[in-house]
Structure 1
Amino acid sequence: MGAAVTTQHDASPAPAPADAQGPAAGAPAVRISGLHKSFGRPGTAAPVLEDIDLDVVPGEFLCLLGASGCGKSTLLDLVAGLERPTAGTIEVPGGRPSLMFQDHALFPWLTAGRNVELALRLAGVGRAERRPEAERLLELVRLGGSYRKRVHELSGGMRQRVALARSLAQGGSVLLMDEPFAALDAITRDVLHEEIIRIWQERRLTVLFVTHNVREAVRLAQRVVLFSSRPGRITGQWRIDLPQPRRIESAGVADLSVEITEQLRGEIRRHGEH
């Protein structure tokens, strides 16, 4: 591997976002080139990701799919700048991405609104503007009137909505989502699928969404990228041409999910044979 390692979160203006129903070609919102990531000491380091080349165009909703431990979440950490690659480059021309974790990670001693305001403060929003902007973001995620509610007063789905509002408060044009709905019941997850698609379209975001749920990926994404088991490599990509909004139980989603699931099972079997 080459010795040069650069991770770029360029502060230059973001490219103009593409239509949320069909991203156009152009300068990528995220460009990953020759990426390798290992953990451990030299000589005994375990590779987690190998030979990752991936461009994400502005306005695209892309799902990263694979079995547990394949390096999907590590890739998000690298794009977010929380980890550094062992080799290769990551470029995010629009600036540092926003990040939403599986665990809502809200501060329980703060209200819903104050949790969002904290992100706004870190993003440099002035004190006078924070509360109205926090209320606007809570309204955006269908939590209008919840500014003063404490975390213990919120359901699991409501907490994830606050976490989404907080991630939007970070101000990035690229939103990284690491299995944010995995711990929710099926009905709540279904509702939040509809909400994230609505917000993606309204805000014209670029979304990288990690999941191990094939149907979730097909329901949400414009493109699904499949990773092999560790070390993670890209082994398949699918362009999803089904119109939004989609239903997780619809025939088109089900048919494509079967195809992708078969390839995912093959990757898991191949890993088990090594």
Structure 2
Amino acid sequence: MTTTLARPVTAAVHLDRVGKVFGSAGSAVTALDGVDLTVEPGEFVCLLGASGCGKSTLLNLVAGLDRPSAGEITLTTSRPAVMFQEAALMPWLTASRNVELPLRLAGFGRSERRQKAAELLDLVRLSDAGRKRPHELSGGMRQRVALARALAATHRVGGDDGNALLLMDEPFAALDAITRDVLQSELLRVWRSTGTSVLFVTHDVREAVRLGQRVVLLSSRPGRVVREWHDVPSADAELLADEITADLRKVISTHAAA
């Protein structure tokens, strides 16, 4: 029933029999039940499942935005960074100042946070947009700024920036297909260049296959891990997507028949 911070553990995050119940007595709803999941340092894991299966709930627990009702979550980072479907940038701040904000909250001095923000904007290929405010940017550009800000949030004064965890809750779902495709490629590029551990929530099978090194399928409510696919990049993408889609349909149909 706890979330702990433990440096000796090698995994970026480890969930041990994690459960989450909302409400009490007759109105109780079990969102997650006995979830075991580990994300290794530098690993990109996609968490897949139907709507309402507890994917976002699990992410909120790992982020520390809520507490599990059962089980234990162990992190090797002081606090993971979260990126949501909406960019949620501060509209009165420039792109650069939005990226600087978590660095300021972490205690970085002005010159250091400006340098780090410039580096992160360059990493997401927005080095020329630092002085623009969110309303001057396209949806895809705003999500790039949000990605840079999330990466900034993994930085700690005197900390190990290479030991970072990024939690992503369907960050590209609201974008058009072309922009989503571009940002998926950009995310992979950024991930490879930073070595950040990523736990990415999606309901899109093809997105999971394209991005993840490992794909984890949750059952319908209550969410439980029902299957995992390892070494995803080495598999035939079309065949794997068809296989995962078949399993997802079984999960949904089983829930509908219950």
What TM-score do you get using the length of structure 2 for normalisation?
Answer: 0.93
Cα offset for 1:110? 1.0
- For residues 114 and 205 of structure 1, the distance between their equivalents in structure 2, rounded to whole angstroms, comes to 22
Q: Equivalent pairs: percent with the same residue? A: 60
Q: Does 1:6 align with 2:7?
A: no
- For residues 140 and 224 of structure 1, the distance between their equivalents in structure 2, rounded to whole angstroms, comes to 26
User: Which AA in structure 1 matches 2:248?
Assistant: L
- For residues 152 and 63 of structure 1, the distance between their equivalents in structure 2, rounded to whole angstroms, comes to 31
Q: Does 1:191 align with 2:175?
A: no
SS at match of 1:242: helix
Q: Does 1:31 align with 2:14?
A: yes
Q: Which has the higher helix share?
A: 2
- For residues 75 and 25 of structure 2, the distance between their equivalents in structure 1, rounded to whole angstroms, comes to 28
- Residue equivalent to 1:150: 133
- Residue equivalent to 2:195: 204
- Residue equivalent to 1:98: 81
- Residue equivalent to 2:143: 160
User: Which AA in structure 2 matches 1:56?
Assistant: V
User: Which AA in structure 2 matches 1:201?
Assistant: R
Contiguous gaps of at least 5 residues in structure 2: 156-163
Q: Deviations over 1:184-220 (max 9, x none)?
A: 1111111111111111111111100000000000000
Q: Does 1:65 align with 2:56?
A: no
User: Which AA in structure 1 matches 2:233?
Assistant: L
Residue 225 of structure 1 contacts residue 237 of structure 1 at CA under 8 Å; is this kept in 2? yes
User: Which AA in structure 2 matches 1:238?
Assistant: W
SS at match of 2:233: coil
SS at match of 1:149: coil
User: Which AA in structure 1 matches 2:43?
Assistant: E
Q: Does 1:255 align with 2:246?
A: no
2:123 is aligned, of 137, 140, 144, to 140
User: Which AA in structure 2 matches 1:205?
Assistant: T
Cα offset for 1:9? 3.0
Cα offset for 1:111? 0.8
Cα offset for 1:267? 0.6
- For residues 229 and 185 of structure 1, the distance between their equivalents in structure 2, rounded to whole angstroms, comes to 27
Cα offset for 1:135? 1.2
Residue 100 of structure 1 contacts residue 163 of structure 1 at CA under 8 Å; is this kept in 2? yes
- Residue equivalent to 2:207: 216
Cα offset for 1:239? 0.9
Cα offset for 1:147? 0.9
Q: Does 1:116 align with 2:112?
A: no
Q: Does 1:269 align with 2:253?
A: yes
Q: Deviations over 1:12-59 (max 9, x none)?
A: 38x7xxxxxxxxxxx211110011101112453100000101111111
- Residue equivalent to 1:86: 69
Q: Deviations over 1:221-274 (max 9, x none)?
A: 01000001111111111013425xxxxxxx921211000000100110111111
User: Which AA in structure 2 matches 1:225?
Assistant: V
SS at match of 1:114: helix
User: Which AA in structure 1 matches 2:215?
Assistant: V
Contiguous gaps of at least 5 residues in structure 1: 16-26, 244-250
- Residue equivalent to 1:169: 152
Residue 212 of structure 2 contacts residue 232 of structure 2 at CA under 8 Å; is this kept in 1? no
User: Which AA in structure 2 matches 1:210?
Assistant: V
- For residues 116 and 29 of structure 1, the distance between their equivalents in structure 2, rounded to whole angstroms, comes to 23
RMSD of aligned alpha carbons: 1.4
User: Which AA in structure 1 matches 2:245?
Assistant: T
What TM-score do you get using the length of structure 1 for normalisation?
Answer: 0.88
CA 1:241–1:63 in structure 2 vs 1: closer, same or farther (change >3 Å)? Answer: closer
- For residues 220 and 232 of structure 2, the distance between their equivalents in structure 1, rounded to whole angstroms, comes to 27
**When the two structures are aligned, how many residues end up with a matched partner?**
250
User: Which AA in structure 2 matches 1:159?
Assistant: R
Residue 99 of structure 1 contacts residue 176 of structure 1 at CA under 8 Å; is this kept in 2? yes
Moved more, 254-263 or 120-129: 120-129
1:239 is aligned, of 227, 230, 239, to 230
